Amino acid sequence: MPRRPPTPMCPIRVGDACTLCVPGATGPQDCGLVYLVRSDPELREQLAARRSAHAAVRGRATSDLSAPAAAAR
């Protein structure tokens, strides 16, 4: 089976794939929005908070999925 190329993830929209929303960008590596957010201390702090919240929700969702399996044992 042929391998698909990896899909780059958007560093700004946490959990979403890069949709090339900035004209001229070929991915997160040359996206003007990513550059602006990473170069601004306040925006970088807000992004870190969003990533933490997203990780907490993902962790909770994963543990919720495994809880019924553990209860069935």
Residues contacting 30, CB < 8 A, separation 6+: 24
Flag whether 49 is in a domain. Answer: yes
Write down the pTM of the prediction.
Answer: 0.63
3-28 tens-digit pLDDT: 888 888 898 888 889 988 888 888 88
* Residue 8 is assigned to a structural domain of this protein: no
List the alpha helices (DSSP H) in the chain.
32-39, 41-72
Judge whether 61 lies within some domain: yes
In the chain, the number of structural domains is 1
43 vs 65 pLDDT, higher one: 43
Domain containing 62 equals 28-72
**44: Cβ contacts below 8 Å, ≥ 6 apart:** 37, 38
In order of 13, 19, 21, 29, 67, the CA distances from 10 in angstroms are 6, 8, 10, 10, 30
Task: Write out pLDDT tens, residues 28-45.
Answer: 899 999 999 999 999 999
Please determine, for residue 59, whether its predicted confidence score (pLDDT) is greater than 70.
yes
